[in-house]
Amino acid sequence: MTPSARLAAAVELLDATAATTAAAEHEVRRFFRTRRYAGSKDRRWVSEFVYRCLRRQGELDWRLECVDAETAPRMRALLALVLFDDEALDGLAASFFGGPHGLSELTDAEVDLLGKANTVETDNMPDYAAGNFPEWIAAQLTAQYGEKAAVIMAVYQNRAPVTLRVNLLKTTREAVVELLTKDGIEVTQTTYSPDGLVLTTRHNISRHQVLENGLVELQDEAAQISARLADVSPGQTVVDFCTGAGGKSLAMASVMQNQGQIYAFDINARRMRDMGARKRRASVDIIEPVELKQDDSDVEIFDRLGGTAQRVFVDAPCSGSGTWRRQPDQKWKLTPARLEELCDLQAGILDKAQQLVAPGGRLIYATCSILDQENQDQVSAFLQRHPGFKMIPVRDLWANVGLGGKNDDDVLRLTPADFGSDGFFTAVLQRDG
């Protein structure tokens, strides 16, 4: 692809991403599935450019608004070239326009607006624009985190790390390090998880033997810590209530030494479609996928399992705000109304999931969110509705579940600014015996 075709592809992708609620990664995959002619370098340039525009959309839009320019994908992309790639204005037309697959011709008016936007005085740039967050979310983060909010928002401008969880059913962390190092892939051990490795150099390991042979799974360290805090043991009955692709089910199965039973619930069978292959690859056979139909057919399942699970893990649907380094488009799509819908959904899921917890058993509530409405506020409201549960402080579990370092809090509350993991929340609630 020529530079002009690459830029046109990036603008088309930014347009498509803005027009859908689906994650940008899905649009990127769909886009290149129908454009087989694009080489690996083309795909990388376009993808990275699109994600950078999304991560820094706040700055771009504020500058464009200052000069009364349209905050549309085309102008954002052109300004990004000037601001972040140091492209000269007088060279844009020659370098990024022309050819059968390029954008329509650059106008003199656009050049003028871009020049003004590039030289806007930034001393008065508001915190939400500098932090590249929607204004209403930035206000909430400031209310929660105070001065730390600016640091947290700034971290979201960076790429998230690639983190692996070693499958202890098949290997050791040291053995995986040796295999990766042999192939020139550098890794470091995770900060707290005893099973994790973080890639320190960029590599595509999707076809590497450690993944294909089930020696590791891709899983952020925060999720690994959360799964450890479930404090599962061999032989237990566990319900992973919102299992998704099954990453935490697999993590808990490893700690359980593949002994016991894990029921993996989800309302969407499509999300669980890869679980069979992942189970076989990981040598796990204690996970049973269960599709909830959200109708009378679920009654039999709840009647059969009600009050029998020693652990019920609820990784609830949420804003995903802790993962916005990976999905920066989602922060621009979240609305106050959608957040309220998610909070209502979370409360309903917790009320339903608690029915499955055995006397003395535990309900683990987790989200990949950094917003209090979805986290501490949900837990406080749940404990008021269900006085038969009490919180077990995370600090009392930390060392016992094999985690390194220490945590002095009642709950797990992480942001990407803490040690580089995704943002995550976990609370452990125990039913009276």
Residue positions annotated with a catalytic role: 368
**Residue 287 belongs to what H/E stretch?**
strand 287-291
Q: Round to the nearest angstrom and report the end-to-end CA distance of the chain.
A: 65
Q: What is the DSSP string of 327-369?
A: -THHHHH--HHHHHHHHHHHHHHHHHHGGGEEEEEEEEEEES-
The rounded distance, in Å, linking the Cα atoms of 149 and 138 is 8
Q: What is the DSSP string of 26-59?
A: HHHHHHHHT-TT--HHHHHHHHHHHHHHHHTHHH
Secondary structure letter of residue 289 according to DSSP? E
* Widest Cα–Cα separation across the chain: 74
**Residue 377, Cβ density class (10 Å: 0-12 exposed, 13-18 middle, ≥19 buried):** middle
Which residues 6+ apart lie within 8 Å of 15 measured at CB? Answer: 73
The rounded distance, in Å, linking the Cα atoms of 222 and 231 is 15
- DSSP collapsed to 3 states, 155-184: HCCCCCCCEEEECCCCCCHHHHHHHHHHCC
Residue 25 structure tokens: 């990664």
Residue 420, number of CB atoms within 10 A of its CB = 19
Cβ atoms of residues 277 and 213 within 8 Å: no
Secondary structure letter of residue 199 according to DSSP? E
Residue 358 structure tokens: 């055995």
Please report where in the chains the tokens 């106050």 appear, as a residue.
336
* 3-state SS assignment for residue 291: strand
